[in-house]
């Protein structure tokens, strides 16, 4: 929102900045680091080439050693002396150490020759010579970076070195360069890029200012004319100063204002006529709405009266139908009661028969009990005689002496059996006597039950006759009530049909009232809009619009 209030020149500057800023960030964040890395790789290749050149000196002296021209000590001493004097790029030098990290040759550290350099570390604590030996043992040659002090300077500077192992003598030949010149080259390139981008931005700003002024002046004239038209001045006009897009826009604006002038005049005239017609329609609609509302109220009251009458008749019909259903239900209950009484009467007849048969069975049981008693008395007599026989047998066995012992035992057992038989017969006689008394009592109760059942049978027959008469009466009442319910139902249906037709007329009348009121509201809205249109058109001060508005 705030950006939209700035001028075209400011927006153009912001647009160029948006384009230039990512380009500048890409250059600073990607291109320059890539450039520095490329320079470092070039420097490493240069160091490798220098080491390869110096390596040829070692190979030449080692060849003399193998040829026998020089001893190893002489060959090593001559090679080290030659490499100590060897320089490239004016000041860069070589050094030699062995695989035990002892310094063999260094042009700037003569005091440390022959010393073990395992404890030598740069300013960041890195064991430089131990890393050099580890690289030579692992790969044979390679580059590494560390910080060292330039001869004659106390400040540590980043340094890039390249080393290579000379296996015949176990020497590690190396050289290095300080990379502060890389940073200077990159800084110089960065400065040149920033100057180029800044110059391009300045030229773009100047060109944008020139173009924006050629565009802004006619646009400002159009803006001022548009504000005049917004205030109601339809005589505003802008001179066409060019044939480009801005010029065509100016011509279109002038044509638009002319067309707007004609439209405003026509709108004022139409608004006046519309307001007058709307007022006449509103008066007629109010009268029609009043008449229609009165008619709707009359129909509504008639519909309510007919609906009340129909509801009363419907309630009577429903009550009659309910009574008919109740009478039918009572008739059904009575019929079911008659059926149940008939079944009960038949069951009582069956019960009488069963009771009579039970009485006969009890009589037969009494006769059987008397026969059983006679048989028990006979058994008791046999037991008494058996006991007497056993006693006599025991006496005879005692007389027989030794030969009668077996008969004495048998006689004893027989006597015991006769005793148990007499005891059992006594118990059975007691039970039989009790059974005979219970059977007699049951026979008396059977005879009393038979009499009561016969009395119930008589009462059940009388109840069946009464229920039959009740069923006939209930059927007659149900038929009469059903006919009355059908008559009330027909009357209720007729009343409901009349009420429905009156209600439909009332609803249509109500809808007509609502439609007339809607027309009245629409006419009122139309009149209000016409008045508002006249007020809006009155804002414009063009002569044509003003003349028509007054008419």
Residue ranges matching CATH 3.30.450.20 in the chain:
3-209
**Integer Cα distance of 493 and 496 in angstroms:** 5
pLDDT in tens, 212-237: 666 677 777 777 778 877 777 777 77
Fold of 278-538: Helix Hairpins (1.10.287)
Give per-residue burial for 2-19: e unless 16+ CB within 10 Å, then b. eeeeeebbeebbeebeee
Does residue 2 have a pLDDT over 60? no
**Integer Cα distance of 50 and 58 in angstroms:** 13
Model pTM score: 0.36
Q: Are 169 and 76 in contact (CB under 8 A)?
A: yes
User: Backbone phi, then psi, for 236, in 5-degree steps?
Assistant: -65, 140
Split at pLDDT 50, 70, 90, the class of 488 is: low
Does residue 543 have a pLDDT over 60? no
Does residue 158 have a pLDDT over 80? yes
> Measuring CA to CA, how many Å separate 15 from each of 113, 386, 549?
65, 150, 49
Split at pLDDT 50, 70, 90, the class of 545 is: very low
Can you list the pairs that 269-274 forms with residues at least 24 positions away whose Cβ atoms lie under 8 Å?
Answer: 269/548, 269/549, 269/551, 270/533, 271/530, 271/531, 271/533, 271/534, 271/537, 272/530, 272/534, 272/549, 272/551, 274/526, 274/527, 274/530, 274/533
* CATH class as words, domain 3-209: alpha beta
Residue ranges matching CATH 1.10.287.950 in the chain:
278-538
Q: What is the predicted pLDDT for the residue at 230?
A: 79
Q: What is the predicted pLDDT for the residue at 469?
A: 75
Q: Are 545 and 264 in contact (CB under 8 A)?
A: yes
Lowest mean pLDDT among 168-182, 253-267, 285-299, 443-457: 285-299
């Amino acid at each position: 929102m705030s950006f939209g209030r700035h001028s075209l020149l400011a927006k153009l500057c912001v647009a160029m900045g948006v384009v230039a800023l990512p380009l500048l960030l890409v250059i600073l964040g990607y291109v320059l680091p890539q450039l520095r890395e490329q320079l470092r790789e070039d420097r490493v290749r240069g160091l490798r080439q220098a080491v390869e050149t110096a390596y040829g000196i070692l190979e030449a002296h080692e060849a003399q050693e193998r040829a026998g021209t020089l001893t190893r000590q002489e060959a090593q001493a001559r090679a080290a002396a030659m490499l100590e004097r060897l320089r490239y790029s004016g000041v860069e030098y070589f050094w030699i150490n062995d695989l035990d990290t002892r310094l063999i040759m260094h042009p700037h550290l003569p005091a440390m020759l022959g010393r073990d350099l395992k404890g030598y570390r740069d300013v960041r604590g890195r064991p430089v010579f131990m890393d050099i030996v580890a690289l030579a043992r692992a790969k044979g040659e390679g580059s590494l970076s560390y910080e060292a002090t330039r001869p004659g300077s106390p400040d540590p500077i980043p340094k890039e070195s390249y080393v290579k192992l000379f296996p015949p003598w176990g020497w590690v030949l190396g050289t290095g360069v300080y990379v502060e010149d890389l940073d200077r080259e990159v800084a110089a390139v960065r400065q040149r890029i920033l100057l180029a981008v800044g110059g391009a931005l300045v030229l773009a700003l100047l060109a944008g200012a020139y173009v924006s002024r050629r565009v802004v002046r006619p646009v400002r004239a159009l803006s001022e004319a548009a504000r005049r038209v917004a205030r109601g001045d339809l005589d505003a006009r802008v001179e066409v100063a060019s044939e480009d897009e801005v010029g065509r826009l100016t011509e279109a604006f002038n044509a638009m204002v002319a067309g707007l002038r004609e439209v405003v005049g026509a709108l004022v005239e139409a608004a006046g006529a519309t307001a007058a017609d709307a007022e006449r329609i509103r008066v007629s609609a109010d009268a029609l709405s009043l008449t229609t509302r009165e008619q709707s109220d009359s129909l509504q009251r008639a519909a309510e009266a007919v609906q009340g009458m129909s509801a009363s008749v419907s309630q009577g019909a429903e009550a009659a139908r309910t009574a008919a259903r109740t009478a039918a239900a009572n008739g059904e209950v009575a019929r079911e009661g008659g059926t149940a009484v008939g079944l009960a009467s038949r069951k009582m007849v069956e019960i009488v028969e069963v009771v009579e048969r039970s009485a006969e069975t009890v009589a037969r049981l009494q006769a059987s009990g008397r026969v059983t008693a006679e048989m028990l008395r006979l058994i008791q007599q046999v037991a008494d005689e058996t006991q007497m026989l056993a006693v006599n047998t025991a006496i005879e066995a005692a007389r027989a002496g030794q030969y009668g012992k077996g008969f004495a035992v048998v006689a004893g057992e027989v006597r015991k059996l006769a005793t148990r038989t007499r005891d059992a017969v006594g118990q059975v006689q007691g039970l039989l006597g009790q059974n005979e008394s219970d059977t007699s009592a049951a026979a008396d109760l059977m005879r009393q039950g038979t009499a009561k059942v016969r009395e119930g049978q008589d009462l059940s027959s009388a109840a069946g006759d009464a229920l039959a008469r009740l069923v006939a009466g209930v059927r007659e009442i149900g038929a009469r009530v059903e006919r009355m319910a059908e008559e009330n139902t027909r009357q209720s249906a007729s009343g409901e049909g009349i009420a429905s037709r009156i209600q439909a007329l009332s609803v249509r009348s109500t809808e007509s009232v609502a439609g007339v009121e809607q027309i009245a509201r629409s006419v009122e809205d139309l009149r209000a809009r016409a008045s508002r249109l006249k007020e809006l058109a009155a804002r414009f001060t063009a002569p044509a619009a003003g003349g028509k508005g007054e008419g």
